[in-house]
Structure 1
Amino acid sequence: MSTNFGTTPALRVAILSFAHTHAQGYAAVLKNYPGVELLASDPGDHPEGELRGAALAQQLGLPYVDTYEELFAWSPDAVIITSENTNHRADVELAASHGAHILCEKPLATTVSDARAMIAACEDARVNLMVAYPVRFSSAFDRLKKTNDAGHLGRLLSIRGSNNGKLPREREWFTQPALSGGGALVDHVVHIADLLDALMGSSVTSVTAVANQILYSDRAEAETGGLVNLTYENGTIASIDCSWSEPDSAPTWGGLKINVAGTKGSVDVDFFGPRIRGLETSTGKPVELPYSPNLDATLLESFLTSVRTGHQAQPDGYVGLRTLEIVTAAQRSIQTGETISLPRATD
């Protein structure tokens, strides 16, 4: 770790892989972040037509090395893992073996056994493991949770959630189950599952799901639309629409909404709703400019604070495990046509 006399030592933060498009957003926040030194690496053969590796690092203005061996020789204090989903376990175990605290992109893994192994590796190495669920850091969710905790909604009866977006085009691996673990269901269910986990603190007892590949069947190897129904231990019923249903011509990537209904009232939350809407004068096409806070920045601030203090930030690996258990149960439900029962979630 580099130090400056009389100042707090800078945190060395490494970005492992540019596979996930969120890597670019994290880099934009961190490259000028006070007290942080940044280094990235994106080794391997990259798909033709995708901007990756040293070329993307140069465009982003990031220091770059060609291999993870060089990256860990730099002795990072923390790493952000934004590789393909199936590579999360290997990358987390590698980072933990070097004593680095970890922020892992969602989903935590593609199998429950991998997720448990990752948690164990971090606990054995005594490093923090945090999962990248930025929406839980929104002020809208904070107000919703405080409203529910105060009892103003009464007993929760039902929750409807939707996380709809465009088919990922910048990174084809999102639509390839061998690298992603699935399609729209894997990509989108976990965000809402995390919010409900934090909102209620109740375990999911059963999962029923359906999915199809009607949309973009010529471009995707996995499901592009799905509906997941959850029953919670506290009696709440939740439904999650998790689809790549936004057209390529849509002015933004998509959105995330939930409706929470209780015995005393209901609340609708559109987490990415605040935006300026208009038309391009030259083309007449719709334009939408979001103006809500950068949730990636708030997520990263929480992670960096946990690295400096040693305190575990939320959502942690166990949250990642619980949300992954929901996804894998939904996949089994789709395969079998049956409702899947879950044991009490891991504490």
Structure 2
Amino acid sequence: MKVGVLSFAHVHAAGYVSVLRGMPGVEVRTSDPETDLAGAGEVRGREFAEQLGAAYVDTYEELFAWGPDAVVVASENARHRPLVELAAKHGVDVLCEKPLATTLADGEAMVAACREAGVRLGVAYPVRFSPAYAALRAAVRGGGVGPVLTVAGANNGWLPDGQRAWFTDPGLAGGGALMDHTVHIADLLDELFEDARAVEVYGQTNNLMYADRAAVETAGLVTVRYDNGAVATIDCSWSQPVHHPTWGGLELQLVGERATVEMDAFGQQVSGFDERRRAGVLLPWGVNLDEALLRSFLYGDDGRGSEPGDGEPVRVADGASGLRSLRIALAGYESARSGHPVALD
């Protein structure tokens, strides 16, 4: 199987290349020609491919001429659309980094292009494949929790400008922390609630943290009301301390009529202290969520993907799912600007 990686802009691009290179029977080729907006000191293009030990071509057209079976789009958020449409033009399945786009018009155009071309469009939400989420979903789907009343979610992390400066560029990222960290939890709830849909969003943001480093919001709280009666709050802040040993995490507390369940997607780690460096140490272990995501996208639900505890296979988020989580993030921005809740169609 031939798989291409389009752009090294996203911080996850290196991880995708590493996972793909380790998959038996997978041949990887990369391309990253659009480095004009890279920050000072960022390693991109052929040099970055050489560091990863990955084959590289100078243009996207050269990569598609190679005849890939699938591609992964890891560009800046605002540059997703042309690359997804290019994949659709060549009849190639495409997995796109989240959020799907920075505007609803771009997201809808991407979904339409892939539908018309008859190719699969997936959105990279790897937390769907977390064993912690599998256990939470099994508890909810099994009925033991009862109807869901409230959800408190937190997806916090480092300020990402130290790795890729574009994350704090509102034109390229579509915003700041709210755009970056609302959509993961919004997608989990979209998958968990199945046919239930978000009907109202209220958001607040500020940039009191790192105001000297970022012109976008660095903290946010988004409240989402669903038509099944559940109300969710999402802490989407870049609030992880700068020198903390891990980037951040994703946690959910779900309250039902009969029970409360909690999950920590990245809680599989051993903690300790390094006396020589005089610093805390966190060593992760367990499932590689990027690998589970890529296996499911490439091979489908044939036993090589991830299966949650309730027996239902986890599937990669599709374009329609990506649009729904994008709508929640965009409504959060609209609400933060107006100071009022925003109704969703």
TM range (shorter): over 0.9
Secondary structure in 1 aligned to 2:23?
A: coil
Deviation at 1:284, TM superposition (A): 1.3
- One-letter identity of the residue aligned with 1:174: F
1:97 aligns with 2:99: no
1:145 aligns with 2:147: no
Q: State the partner residue of 2:189.
A: 196
Q: State the partner residue of 2:171.
A: 178
Conserved 8 A contact 1:101-1:307: no
Runs (4 or more) in structure 1 with deviation over 4 Å come to none
Deviation at 1:53, TM superposition (A): 0.6
Structure 1 residues 255-312: Cα deviation after superposition (integer angstroms, max 9, x where no partner): 100000001000111111121111112121001011121000000000111499xxx9
Conserved 8 A contact 2:252-2:264: yes
Q: State the partner residue of 1:325.
A: 327
- One-letter identity of the residue aligned with 1:12: K
Q: Distance in 2 between matches of 1:15 and 1:307?
A: 22
Deviation at 1:209, TM superposition (A): 0.4
Structure 1 residues 79-123: Cα deviation after superposition (integer angstroms, max 9, x where no partner): 000000000011100111011100000000011111111011001
Q: State the partner residue of 1:61.
A: 53
- One-letter identity of the residue aligned with 1:35: G
- One-letter identity of the residue aligned with 1:290: P
Q: State the partner residue of 2:337.
A: 335
Unaligned runs of at least 5 residues, structure 2: 303-313
CA RMSD of aligned residues (A): 1.3
Secondary structure in 2 aligned to 1:303?
A: helix
Conserved 8 A contact 2:39-2:166: no
1:40 paired residue among 17, 30, 45: 30
Unaligned runs of at least 5 residues, structure 1: 1-10
Q: State the partner residue of 2:13.
A: 23
Q: State the partner residue of 1:109.
A: 101
Deviation at 1:147, TM superposition (A): 1.1
Q: Distance in 2 between matches of 1:70 and 1:113?
A: 28
Q: Distance in 2 between matches of 1:157 and 1:200?
A: 12
Secondary structure in 1 aligned to 2:236?
A: strand
Q: How many residues align?
A: 330
Conserved 8 A contact 1:140-1:271: yes
- One-letter identity of the residue aligned with 2:164: R
TM-score, normalization by structure 1: 0.93
Deviation at 1:32, TM superposition (A): 2.5
Q: State the partner residue of 1:254.
A: 248
TM-score, normalization by structure 2: 0.94
1:14 paired residue among 4, 27, 45: 4
Conserved 8 A contact 2:125-2:316: no
Conserved 8 A contact 2:124-2:316: no
Q: Distance in 2 between matches of 1:136 and 1:18?
A: 23
Q: Which 10-residue stretch deviates more, 142-151 or 54-63?
A: 142-151
Conserved 8 A contact 1:272-1:292: no
Percent identity reads: 52
Deviation at 1:47, TM superposition (A): 2.9
Q: Residues 126-165 of structure 1 correspond to what in structure 2 (within 5 A)?
A: 126-165=118-157
- One-letter identity of the residue aligned with 1:92: V
Q: Which 10-residue stretch deviates more, 313-322 or 119-128?
A: 313-322
Deviation at 1:313, TM superposition (A): 4.8
Deviation at 1:76, TM superposition (A): 1.0
Conserved 8 A contact 1:130-1:313: no
Deviation at 1:48, TM superposition (A): 2.4
Deviation at 1:235, TM superposition (A): 0.6
